[in-house]
Structure 1
Amino acid sequence: MAAAWVVPGSQLISVVAVSSLVFLALLGGIAARAGEGPIAFGAIRVTFWGALAMSLTAGVGRIFGVIA
């Protein structure tokens, strides 16, 4: 939320997407540690699927003319 509040409008989408991926990696690592699994694998897995979900959402938005 802080990234969306601080960043100027022209860079908003990029900064929010990157910061979201960073925090997804962090949370994936924490979840893997809590589950006693490999931390790097958990972080990569959550980041990959999060990036895929964001890409598909942006693609659908572009198809319907919601995202420029």
Structure 2
Amino acid sequence: MSMDRIRLLLRIERLRKRLNETNPEDRDELQAISRRLDRLIVQFLRGPGGVTCRANLCGYSMENYGK
């Protein structure tokens, strides 16, 4: 795994931890962190060595995944 992907994973983990530590009543902050986290996860999945399509991301039902 490249250093860039490792750094990206570390950013994802830090942001995930921050999301979990955020006050549940602060909906605006939760939403902002969640959106940033979503973007990082997509960036990771689309990067080198990642996946371009997963069943749940491409609109396929899990019944047909892998067939």
- TM class by shorter chain equals 0.3 to 0.5
Higher helix share: 1
TM-score by length of 1: 0.39
TM-score by length of 2: 0.39
| Structure with more relative contact order (C-alpha pairs < 8 Å, separation 6 or more) | 2
